Amino acid sequence: MSRNRWHILREGDSLTVTRALPVRFDVAAETTLPDGGRLRLAQQVRQDLWRTLQALRGFAPAVRVTRRGDACEIIAGGRVEGAHDKASVDARIAEMLSDPDLRARWSVFAAHREGTHA
C-alpha cells in the first residue's frame, strides 16, 4: 500500500476518510459545523488532526462527517497502535476541533459552491 493511500468510505449521509481499515476510533472528539462539502471538510480536519498528533506513535487518523440537516457532525480521531493516555489525546483533539481559526478555515474551504452538494 502506498504511503499516501487514504480510504474514502461513503455510507448514506456519512463520509469517512481513514488511513487504516477497519475504521476505529480509539481516540476521538466531536464537533458540529455548518453544512458543507463532506469530503473537503473531512480532508481539511484530517490534515490538522495529523499535524496535532503526528508525534503519537502508531497513530492512524480517521475523520467521519455526517450531514444532519443544515449542519455537519464531525468525529475526528483514529486508531492508536501503542501506549497512550486516551483522556489526554481526546482532550488534544477536542481542543483542535474548538480552535476558532481552524473552524473558520474549514468552513470556508468546505462551503458549498454554486450547484454542488458533495
Residue 32 Cα to chain centre, angstroms: 11
Q: Measure the CA dihedral 79/77/109/54, to 10°.
A: -70
* Domain ranges (residues) in the chain: 7-109
Q: Please give the Cα distance from 77 to 26 (Å, whole number).
A: 7
Q: What percent of the chain has pLDDT over 90?
A: 86
In the sheet with 71-80, reading across from the earlier edge strand, the strands are: 7-11, 14-18, 59-68, 71-80, 27-34
pLDDT tens string 47-60: 999 999 999 999 99
Predicted local distance difference test score (pLDDT) of residue 111:
87
Please say if the pLDDT value at position 1 is more than 50: no
pLDDT, average across residues 69-81: 96
Q: State the pTM of this model.
A: 0.90
Could you tell me the fold of the domain covering 7-109? Answer: GMP Synthetase; Chain A, domain 3 (3.30.300)
Q: What percent of the chain has pLDDT over 70?
A: 91
Stated as kind and residue range, the H or E segment containing 68 is strand 59-68
pLDDT tens string 6-17: 999 999 999 999
Predicted local distance difference test score (pLDDT) of residue 115:
45
Question: When comparing pLDDT for 114 and 55, which is higher?
Answer: 55
pLDDT classification of 3: cutoffs 50, 70, 90: low
Question: When comparing pLDDT for 1 and 28, which is higher?
Answer: 28
Predicted local distance difference test score (pLDDT) of residue 2:
46
